[in-house]
């Protein structure tokens, strides 16, 4: 089965489940997607832990990110990063992650 370029790129905009070599999806932890290199290019933070702490959100509010109810988080992301919201930041991080897996240099 062949896939068009559109099919392949649209898969980059799916949830954080990334297809593994088998038939089961591979869930990529957020701190693996938001690497120190990615964060230093797009925020003033060195790692995801410091980025999350600076948001001032409680752990319970952080859990809302997984369900898409993170409007306070979206606001923080828009203020503290180059991205307008959490979804945009995740899409960019996923793209970097996939390119690294394919052996394409992302870091400048």
Q: What is the pLDDT of residues 46-105, one digit of tens each?
A: 998 899 889 888 765 556 665 555 688 889 999 999 999 988 999 999 999 988 888 887
DSSP letters, 72-94, are HHHHHHHHHBSSSSHHHHHHHHH
Q: Give first-to-last CA distance, the chain, whole Å.
A: 35
Give the C-alpha separation, 98 to 8, whole Å. 11
The dihedral through the CA atoms of 7, 12, 13, 16 has a sign that is positive
Check pLDDT > 60 for residue 2: no
DSSP structural state of residue 101: H
pLDDT at 78: 95
From residue 17, how far is each of 48, 73, 100 by CA, in Å?
19, 21, 16
pLDDT computed for residue 14 by the predictor: 43
DSSP 3-state assignment of 25?
strand
Better pLDDT: 108 or 54:
54
Instruction: For residue range 5-47, list pLDDT tens digits in order.
Output: 444 444 444 445 445 555 556 678 888 889 999 999 999 999 9
Who has greater pLDDT, 27 or 106? 27
Relative to beta strand 17-19, strand 25-27 is antiparallel
Which pLDDT value is given to residue 80? 96
Q: What is the pLDDT of residue 72?
A: 85
Model confidence, pTM: 0.68
């Amino acid at each position: 089965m062949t896939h068009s370029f559109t099919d392949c790129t649209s898969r980059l905009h799916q949830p954080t489940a990334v297809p593994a070599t088998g038939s089961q999806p591979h869930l990529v932890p957020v701190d693996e997607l938001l690497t120190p290199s990615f964060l230093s290019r797009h925020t003033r933070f060195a790692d995801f832990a410091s980025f999350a702490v600076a948001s001032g959100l409680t752990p319970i509010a952080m859990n809302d990110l997984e369900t898409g109810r993170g409007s306070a988080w979206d606001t923080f992301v828009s203020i503290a990063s180059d991205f307008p919201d959490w979804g945009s930041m995740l899409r960019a991080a996923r793209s970097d992650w996939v390119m690294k897996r394919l052996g394409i240099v992302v870091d400048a």
